[in-house]
């Protein structure tokens, strides 16, 4: 049997807190339903059943709010290797907006940054623009000390 994972343990403890279940009640539930004293003794399947039971008792998953800088960008179909898309007007507007929001240390800070990290003086392709936009979002996130915890690979907030 697959052992319980860390996400399930966290979810169980969030659920218990959210529904206001006392520790003694929680321990009795574990003992009565699964014959264990701690959630760490559950296997993956049992943990799933416990989470379902906690949902039945009122636990609701609440999506975590994510700032605009941390939200994933929409996926687009991959273009053939011999096709290059030129930068769009919307991408350039996004670059302009983001570069105005970043606090640059020098007047030509953006141009220096663009050359240093991308080797560009002008953004010409859609892919270049996409990379620059994501990097500018990262700069803003860093400057604003954003503490969102976005897990892009799983596609959901933690």
Q: How far apart are CA 148 and CA 151, in angstroms?
A: 9
Q: How far apart are CA 119 and CA 124, in angstroms?
A: 12
Q: What is the pLDDT of residues 108-128, one digit of tens each?
A: 999 999 999 999 999 999 889
Q: What is the pLDDT of residues 64-109, one digit of tens each?
A: 666 666 666 666 677 788 888 899 999 999 999 999 999 999 999 9
DSSP one-letter code for 79: P
């Amino acid at each position: 049997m697959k052992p319980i994972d860390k996400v399930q343990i966290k979810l169980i403890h969030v659920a218990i807190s959210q529904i206001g279940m006392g520790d003694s009640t929680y321990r009795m539930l574990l003992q009565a339903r699964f014959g264990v004293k701690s959630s760490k003794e559950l296997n993956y399947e049992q943990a799933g059943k416990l989470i379902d039971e906690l949902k039945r008792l009122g636990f609701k998953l609440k999506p975590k709010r994510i700032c605009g800088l941390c939200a994933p960008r929409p996926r687009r179909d991959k273009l053939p290797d011999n096709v290059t898309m030129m930068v769009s007007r919307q991408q350039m507007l996004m670059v302009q907006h983001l570069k105005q929001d970043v606090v640059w240390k020098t007047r030509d800070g953006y141009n220096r940054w663009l050359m240093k990290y991308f080797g560009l003086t002008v953004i010409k392709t859609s892919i270049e623009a996409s990379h620059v936009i994501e990097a500018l979002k990262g700069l803003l996130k860093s400057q604003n000390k954003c503490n969102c915890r976005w897990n892009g690979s799983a596609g959901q907030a933690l």
